[in-house]
Amino acid sequence: MSNVPDCTIVIEPASLFIRKVNVANSILIAQEKALEHGSMKLPIWRVDVLTFSLATGLQSVTIPNAFIGSLPSRLILGFVANDALNGNLAKNPFNFSHYILSYLSVSDGNRMYPAKPYTPDFGSNSYACSYLSLFTDLNRYHNFQNININYVEYKDGYALHAIDLTPDFASDESHTSIIKNGNISIELKFNAALTETVSLVL
């Protein structure tokens, strides 16, 4: 007998809403002429989600080569219980606990992000830099678009750490930065050994 409760998924009628546009013939002809002299270059914002399992009992871990090749412009890191991420219906896969994280650093070879590593102390409610990074590195600081996570909620299940990897800290602006190649390593330390297997979600 399995401990997993029986469930049924019912998909209600689904609809896809798209917008159709009639392009003027003069625009189509101009685009065809432009394509005769070169290729079309479109900016694509690709989103990759990676997970790394951190075993029970670990207190510090270094993940070498977390990214190899084209480097992302931004990282968002969070920790969630491994069994919750893998389908345990009794647990919330969106509960991003802090697991008493005490050190977070990302490096791309010769450069460290942030320049001074995050050293939150969740036990004494001293984690302002990590909390503020969610706003500054997602371009939500002094911006009308809010995240709606307050300081207390951040500690209680919303502990996400954002790191902007662009040279001008403008990964969300209208311009784009040159794509860099390399590899990214992540270093993590916890105040206490992990009591369960944890997934680091990037």
Q: How many domains does the chain have?
A: 1
* Position 142 pLDDT exceeds 90: no
**Residue 21 counted as domain residue:** no
CATH of the domain at 59: 2.70.9.10
pTM of the predicted model as reported, rounded to 2 decimal places: 0.75
Per-residue pLDDT band for 143 (boundaries 50, 70, 90) equals low
**Residue 32 counted as domain residue:** no
* Position 9 pLDDT exceeds 90: no
Assigned token pair, 149: 């996570």
Domain that holds residue 110: 45-201
Phi-psi region of 71 (alpha: psi -120 to 50; beta: other; left: phi over 0): beta
**Residue 155 counted as domain residue:** yes
Long-range CB contacts (within 8 A, 24+) of 38-45: 43/176
- Residue among 106, 109, 130, 100 nearest 195 (CA): 100
Higher-pLDDT residue of 137, 195: 195
Distance CA 116, CA 130 (A): 12
Contacts of 138 (CB under 8 A, 6+ apart): 74, 76, 147, 162, 172
Per-residue pLDDT band for 56 (boundaries 50, 70, 90) equals very high
**Residue 75 counted as domain residue:** yes
Please give the pLDDT value at position 70: 83
Which residue do the tokens 């040159």 mark? 178
* Position 1 pLDDT exceeds 60: no
Sheet hosting strand 74-81, strand order edge to edge: 51-54, 198-201, 74-81, 160-164
Please give the pLDDT value at position 53: 93
**Residue 39 counted as domain residue:** no
Summarised one tens digit per residue, pLDDT across range 106-122 is: 998 788 888 889 999 99
Query: What is the average per-residue pLDDT within 147-154?
Result: 87
**Residue 31 counted as domain residue:** no
**Residue 62 counted as domain residue:** yes
